[in-house]
Amino acid sequence: MRDAFPTLVAPGTGLHKAKGSKFHGYAFPLPFADEAAAEAAVTRHLEAVKADHHAARHVCFAWQFGPQRFRAADDGEPAGSAGAPIHGVLRSHDLHWTLIAVVRYFGGIKLGVGGLIDAYRSAGQEAVENAGITESLLMSPLTLFYPPDLTRHVMQAIQKEGAHIVAEGYTNRCQLDIQVRAGSIPSLSTELEHIHGVEIKDPHSPPSS
């Protein structure tokens, strides 16, 4: 299971000029692994860009959430001349949870489809370069229950898989809330199952009947 994705460090901007036309690029990181929050952020960012450039005729964009969800919009430009090359910037960097918007101000000379493709791609690329790229990890929560005398063995197992402790409680039975890379869950579960007396609870699993 893939659990590491290139994302942006911070918002970034870019500017490309071609035959008098100006293309202002904006790259935005979106809330990671949260589609509802990412959709709201896309709407908010696009509204802000349009408000800042109310005189512009075209605000083209592309976004990529997870591996299967994306959108590209030409906003009145010839089909495939704006949204697709902007999305191509996302794909070339394998970026996820990212929005790129490019605003065009017409300079009086038509660029043709090829010129538009190059200009929209260049503005988006510069915005991404100025934003910077990092790696975000998809983490999953797990809760562990175990007798106190197993604490050392449990800690060794979760440290081996690089899990992070979120909360812990100690009474007659210990409870440990952890975050672990999604791709590491099978191997961690196997490690813990070899420690007799450890109960693993996945908050995303349906309750047992």
Contact 38, 31 (CB under 8 A): yes
Residue linked to tokens 């690029």? 25
In angstroms, the CA 181 to CA 200 distance is 16
Backbone angles phi, psi at 21, to 5 degrees: -85, 145
Contact 61, 95 (CB under 8 A): no
170, pLDDT greater than 90: no
In the chain the domains, ranked by start, together with CATH numbers, are: 4-136 (3.30.230.30), 138-201 (3.30.70.240)
Query: Any residues with CB less than 8 A from the CB of 135 and at least 6 apart, and which?
Result: 4, 5, 6, 7
Length of the chain as a residue count: 209
Band (pLDDT 50/70/90 cuts) for residue 204 is: low
Sign of CA dihedral 118, 121, 126, 127: positive
In angstroms, the CA 63 to CA 128 distance is 13
In angstroms, the CA 16 to CA 120 distance is 8
Q: What is the pTM of this model?
A: 0.84
Looking at residue 23, its pLDDT comes to 98
Mean pLDDT of 173-193: 93
Q: What would the pLDDT profile of 30-87 be if each residue is shown by its tens digit?
A: 999 999 999 999 999 999 999 999 999 999 999 999 999 999 999 999 999 999 999 9
Looking at residue 21, its pLDDT comes to 95
